[in-house]
Amino acid sequence: MNRVTNRLFGFFFLAFLVGVGGLVWQFQQGEHFHFDMQTIDEQRTIAQQVKGIDLKTETADVVLAAARETSISVRLVGEAPAERKPTLQTEVTPDGILRVTVVEPDRISFFFTPRTRMELQVTIPAAAYQDMQVTTATGDIRAGGLQAKRVTIQSSTGDVELNGLEGDRLAVSTDTGDMDLAGIRGEVSIDSDTGNVEDLVLTELGGNVDITTDTGDVEINVEKKAAVRLDIKSDTGDVEADWPGLSYSEQTDHRLDGSSGAGGPRILVRTATGDIRIR
C-alpha cells in the first residue's frame, strides 16, 4: 500500500510541476493571459529657466537630449497594467533644479507580473547646465548633446549610452549594465560590478579617467592624444595600450604603468577578469 501511495504521490507531483512549467512558458510567450494594459502618453512643458536636471525612474527607459528649443519637454510614453499605472511628477525647485520622477506602484505578486514598457523622453534647450543626474533601477539610459559641469548617471541593470558631453566631470555607475560613451570631454569616473565599458571615446583628455569594474572589459579611445600618465591593471585579463611616446616603468601581460610627455592627466583602470585596451 505504501508503495502504491508513494507512486501516486510522485505521479501527481510530477504532473503539478509539468503544469506549472507550462503556465510559465505560456506566460513568457504572452498567450492565454490577459491583463488590462493601458496606453501611457503624458506630456509636460516646463517654461521656467533651470540650471540643473534630476531624473528618476524604476523600470522606464530614459532618453535625454538637447535641442534648439526655448522650453523643456517631458513626455512619458508606453503601456502598463491598469493597477500599475505610473505617475509622472515634475517640479522646479526654488534653486532652479528640474526634478522629474516616474513613480510606479509597488509590485506585489506571488506568481505572474505583467511586463511594463515605458520611456521617459526629456528634451532640454541646448545650454550649459550646472548639474545633471539620471537614476534608474532597470531602465536603459540614452543621452546626447549635453553641456553640464557635472553629470551623474546611475543604473542597476540598465545599459547606458551617451553620445556627446562637454563638461567638467562625468560619473557613471552600474551594477550589471554596459556602457557605450562617445564624444566625451572632461574628467571621467566609472564604476561597475559586471558591466562592460564597451567603447569610451574621448575627444581629448580633459581630466583624469578612473574606471573600476570587477569582470567587465574596458576599451578607451582618445581621439586627440597628448601627455598622459597610464596606470592599468587586470588580475587575469589582458592589457594593451597604443599611445605615441609611451615609456613604461612596468609592463606585463596584466599591468601597464607608464607615461607620455609630462604633467598629463591620468588614466587609471582596474578590473579583476576583464581585458583592457587603450588606443
pLDDT confidence of residue 110? 47
CA atoms of 87 and 28, how far apart (whole Å) = 27
Predicted confidence band at 83 (pLDDT cuts at 50, 70, 90)?
A: confident
- Give the count of beta carbons closer than 10 Å to the beta carbon of residue 35: 16
Mean pLDDT of 74-92: 93
pLDDT confidence of residue 32? 47
**Does residue 273 sit in helix, strand or coil?**
coil
pLDDT confidence of residue 130? 97
Close Cβ partners of 214 (under 8 Å, ≥ 6 residues apart): 192, 193, 194, 271, 272, 273, 274
What percent of the chain clears pLDDT 90, i.e. is strictly above it? 77
Mean pLDDT of 146-155: 97
Predicted confidence band at 31 (pLDDT cuts at 50, 70, 90)?
A: very low
CA atoms of 190 and 97, how far apart (whole Å) = 24
Residue 28 pLDDT more than 80? Answer: no
Predicted confidence band at 15 (pLDDT cuts at 50, 70, 90)?
A: low
Give the phi and the psi of residue 146 in degrees, each rounded to 5. -95, 150
Mean pLDDT of 217-231: 97
CB 158 within 8 A of CB 138: yes
Predicted confidence band at 109 (pLDDT cuts at 50, 70, 90)?
A: low
CA atoms of 193 and 213, how far apart (whole Å) = 5
Using CA atoms of 233, 236, 242, 243 in order, give the dihedral in degrees to the nearest 10: 10
Predicted confidence band at 34 (pLDDT cuts at 50, 70, 90)?
A: low
